[in-house]
Amino acid sequence: MAAVSAAREILRRLHEVMAARTGAEAKLNQVVQIVAAELNSEVASIYLLRDGMLELYATKGLAQAAVHVTRLSMGQGLVGTIAATREPLNLAEAKAHPDFAHRPETGEDDYHSFAGVPIVRRESAIGVLGVQHRDPRDYDDVEIEALQTVAMVLSELIHGAGLVDDAQAAQARAASSGPLRLPGLKLVDGLGRGTAVFHQPRVIVEHTVADDVEAERLRVYSAFQRMREQIDSMMGQAEFSVGGDHHDVLDTYKMFAYDEGWSRRINEAIDTGLTAEAAIERVQARTRARMRSIDDPYLRERLTDLDDLSNRLLRIVSGQLGTAAKLGLRGDTILIARNLGPAELLEYDKRFLKGVVLEEGSLTAHVIIVARAMGVPVLGRVTELFNQVSDGDELIVDAGNGALLVRPQAAMIASYEAMRVLKARQAEKYAAVKDLPAISRDGQRIAVMMNAGLADDAQALDMTGADGIGLFRTEFQFLVSATLPRRERQQALYRTVLDAADKRPVVFRTVDIGGDKAVPYLIEGGQEDENPAMGWRALRLALGRAGLMKVQARALLEAGAGRTLNIMFPMVSEPWEFAEARALVETQRAVLARQGHALPAHVRYGAMIEVPALIETLDVLLPMTDFVSVGTNDLTQFLFAADRANPRLADRYDWLSPAILRVLRRIVRESKAAGVPATICGEMGGRPLEALALMALGVETLSITPAGVGPIKAMVRSADLSVLKAAMADWLDRPGVDVRRELSALAVAQGVELG
Ligand code: PEP
Ligand code: MG
């Protein structure tokens, strides 16, 4: 308690200083007097970042002649080291430290011990507060903490007085932190450069000294209440159902949220006279310090969770709740998040979004599909992301090489620019094949269509030279809306797409909502799924809510007036579901006809094959359909029983494994025999080697991500498919063949362009 009362006394006196009507410099002079007196130190000094240098700004105990004269660069001397590392130093014998730099003008020769802490604003050091003593003594933890508390208050004072500006501080920090290369997993290929923006912005604590301690205590109390409620309700939600990864995290969150120790420490900090925000941050700084000193990965992760929770508490208490999307992007941005939902990503302004970096993330999660559709490179599974990257850092995302370059040097930026030029040249090459058909060397015509879901995507048809839209994910419109899109809006979107496609075919898939594409306005109370990917999703939900499906059917039929309309149903598990969905649309067609509305010239109906059970009943299904399309994302997830959104499974199973290739071969064979066209519309088809395998199985139509159209066309035009087909038949009949290896070797031997 002595510690609390000492800290309280310092804060009380600082409060008076802050409230006084004196200038900033006079205030800093008073602060050093207070610190020296309260910590019983002969010297107390404040260094501030001025023009990139740390300048002695106020001192009690050092020579006054050195004020504004003694200057150290970032990383230079003990003061520079503290600022560069943003870590305190506590030394009984300052001169023994390897970074010690002698500054005779200060008259510090007589002092042995030294303790200093960084003055931080927006994660950048803007100065250093240090104390010195003649006797070689260690400052104890309580004293270091008191210095850190004073440093927080100083940060507010310095910023308020305009003594250091934020941009300068960020620059200096970037210069001192140095460049870094963090490895990650390529989720969407591409290169992007911009400044780091956190999806959940860090709260900036503007007021540190409390006017009314009891009021602050109440604020923290109710913030804790709200946080606990939030976590309890998250635990009840379907996507965090028992047993999942999320659940473990939430369990830990819950443990911390109800942890007496944590709230007690925050309350103690409030007792000393800090505001609720400052108290939470003070305690958080301690957690971070512990995090840095711990090697055990398990414990580190738990502390990261606590850090995350502190941020949540800070956001609640300060009312700064919005994501970066709500605040708006201002320049070229690399978005940083632990994970994102597709709807969250869609909230960002595409013009400024140059890349996304996730701590988690998985190849076929819908957010990745959305990013791919937006043309935004994504790097996932960057484990050190939150420890190493700060808001405002310059970043280069090089997804193709699985790397995030943090605070790159000029040479790295130059090589990035060179790479960008190279990519642009490659794009020109693809542009050259844009208007040429995808015909293989041995004369086989492949239809290369693209997947779409946003209104803008239709424009990509001309840009990429795709043969049509093989999968239009109508649920994207539902994901970006706050409420259920009305029929008129649905119809307008479908018409825009059809107009843009002109004579090229468009396949509209009816809404695939549920799974990781949940929309809040469609969640039925108390009906949350434990396994949403296998739950009340897609056609199941649509057939269960016939009203929704009727509205969509009408919108599609109206938009398709006078043309051929292709409608496809997602997640068909049994043929009767397809029949029922089709009948539902047909009924709407009859109603519209009775009412004298213009109707499509033809309506073609297709089923998505993405549930393994359906493959066993193709003989029943195929005669009912006009076409089928294989959704390899879901099909592989269900075949391997491997959640497509689980980062730990992201690269575990291969699309070129015999299980998948044999299943696909069977679908292709049976469809051919039934005279029903079978296409592929999962992400698999957008990767050159995988697409080559599909063609070797006899697939003639692919629908892929727009960015893949050029490379896949170029690939087709360089391949001899008959040779590959014969080879594939042989590989699949012989057990134990590594198809990836064999196919790569054959492709290379043929000179196939694999991008
Ligand atoms: C699929 O599952 O492969 C597919 C194309 O549909 P989605 O990715 O939208 O689930
Ligand atoms: Mg699917």
Q: What does the pLDDT look like over 58-98, one tens digit per residue? A: 999 999 999 999 999 988 999 999 998 888 999 999 999 99
Cβ proximity of 194 and 331 under 8 Å: yes
Domains in the chain with CATH codes? 2-165 (3.30.450.40), 180-411 (1.10.274.10), 434-750 (3.20.20.60)
Q: Report how far ligand 1's centroid is from the alpha carbon of 358 (Å).
A: 21
Q: Residue 74 and residue 76: Cα distance in Å, rounded?
A: 5
Nearest to 412 by CA among 424, 426, 398: 398
Left (φ > 0), alpha (ψ -120 to 50) or beta: where does 457 sit? alpha
Q: Residue 472 and residue 457: Cα distance in Å, rounded?
A: 9
Q: Report how far ligand 1's centroid is from the alpha carbon of 532 (Å).
A: 14
Place of tokens 């595409």: 350
pLDDT of residue 248: 64
**pLDDT band (50, 70, 90) for residue 463:** confident
369 lines ligand 1 (CB under 6 A): yes
681 lines ligand 1 (CB under 6 A): yes
**Which pair of tokens denotes residue 281?**
């941050």
Q: What does the pLDDT look like over 628-637, one tens digit per residue? A: 999 999 999 9
More confident residue, 255 or 14: 14
pLDDT of residue 2: 54
Q: What does the pLDDT look like over 127-180, one tens digit per residue? A: 999 999 998 888 888 889 889 999 999 998 998 888 887 777 777 777 667 788
Q: Give mean pLDDT, residues 328-343.
A: 89
Q: Which atom of ligand 1 is nearest to the CA of 366?
A: 8
pLDDT of residue 580: 97
pLDDT of residue 302: 76
Chain mean pLDDT for the chain = 89
Q: Residue 485 and residue 481: Cα distance in Å, rounded?
A: 7
Q: Which atom of ligand 1 is nearest to the CA of 682?
A: 3
How far is CA 477 from each of CA 172, 339, 407, rounded to the nearest angstrom?
Answer: 44, 21, 37
Q: Residue 150 and residue 209: Cα distance in Å, rounded?
A: 10
634 lines ligand 1 (CB under 6 A): yes
Mutate-to-test residue for ligand 1 from 540, 634, 687, highest number of ligand atoms within 8 A of CB: 634
Strands (E), 349-493: 353-358, 378-380, 394-398, 403-406, 447-452, 469-473
pLDDT of residue 240: 42
Q: What does the pLDDT look like over 285-305, one tens digit per residue? A: 888 777 777 777 777 777 777
216 lines ligand 1 (CB under 6 A): no
Residue with CA closest to ligand 1 atom 10? 634
Q: How far is CA 177 from the centre of its chain?
A: 23
Q: Report how far ligand 1's centroid is from the alpha carbon of 570 (Å).
A: 8
Q: Report how far ligand 1's centroid is from the alpha carbon of 528 (Å).
A: 21
**pLDDT band (50, 70, 90) for residue 4:** low
Q: Report how far ligand 1's centroid is from the alpha carbon of 632 (Å).
A: 7
pLDDT of residue 241: 42
686 lines ligand 1 (CB under 6 A): no
pLDDT of residue 634: 94
Partners of 194 in the β-ladder:
395
- Is it the case that residue 249 has pLDDT exceeding 90? no
What is the phi/psi pair of residue 187, to 5°? -110, -40
> What DSSP string runs through 644-702?
TT-GGGTTTS-TTSHHHHHHHHHHHHHHHHHT--EEE-SGGGGSHHHHHHHHHTT--EE
What residues sit around ligand 2, an ion, with C-beta below 5 angstroms? 610, 631, 634
Place of tokens 């540190």: 208
631 lines ligand 1 (CB under 6 A): yes
Residue with CA closest to ligand 1 atom 6? 631
Q: Give mean pLDDT, residues 488-499.
A: 95
Q: Report how far ligand 2's centroid is from the alpha carbon of 528 (Å).
A: 20
Q: Which of 112-116, 246-250, 322-326, 405-409 has the lowest mean pLDDT?
A: 246-250
Q: Report how far ligand 2's centroid is from the alpha carbon of 222 (Å).
A: 43
More confident residue, 231 or 241: 231
83 lines ligand 1 (CB under 6 A): no
360 lines ligand 1 (CB under 6 A): no
Give the count of beta carbons closer than 10 Å to the beta carbon of residue 670. Answer: 17
Q: Which atom of ligand 1 is nearest to the CA of 570?
A: 6
The proportion of the chain whose per-residue pLDDT surpasses 70, expressed as a percent, equals 95
Q: Report how far ligand 2's centroid is from the alpha carbon of 719 (Å).
A: 29
What is the phi/psi pair of residue 256, to 5°? -70, -40
**pLDDT band (50, 70, 90) for residue 239:** very low
pLDDT of residue 55: 95
What is the phi/psi pair of residue 535, to 5°? -105, -140
**pLDDT band (50, 70, 90) for residue 378:** very high
Q: Which atom of ligand 1 is nearest to the CA of 632?
A: 3
Q: Report how far ligand 1's centroid is from the alpha carbon of 608 (Å).
A: 9
- Is it the case that residue 245 has pLDDT exceeding 70? no
pLDDT of residue 3: 55
Name the helix (H) or strand (E) containing 462: helix 457-464
**pLDDT band (50, 70, 90) for residue 18:** confident
Residue with CA closest to ligand 1 atom 8? 633
Mutate-to-test residue for ligand 1 from 187, 368, 473, 541, highest number of ligand atoms within 8 A of CB: 473
Q: Give mean pLDDT, residues 395-406.
A: 93
The proportion of the chain whose per-residue pLDDT surpasses 90, expressed as a percent, equals 57
How far is CA 200 from each of CA 59, 518, 536, rounded to the nearest angstrom?
Answer: 39, 20, 30
Q: Which atom of ligand 1 is nearest to the CA of 610?
A: 2
Query: Can you say whether the dihedral through the CA atoms of 734, 739, 744, 747 is positive or negative?
Result: positive
Q: What does the pLDDT look like over 638-660, one tens digit per residue? A: 999 998 878 788 778 899 999 99
More confident residue, 6 or 657: 657
How large is the angle between the packed helices 688-696 and 706-717, nearest 10 degrees? 60
Residue with CA closest to ligand 1 atom 4? 631
More confident residue, 368 or 733: 733
Mutate-to-test residue for ligand 1 from 362, 608, 611, highest number of ligand atoms within 8 A of CB: 608
Q: What does the pLDDT look like over 192-229, one tens digit per residue? A: 999 999 998 888 888 999 999 999 999 999 999 998 88
Q: Report how far ligand 2's centroid is from the alpha carbon of 537 (Å).
A: 10
610 lines ligand 1 (CB under 6 A): yes
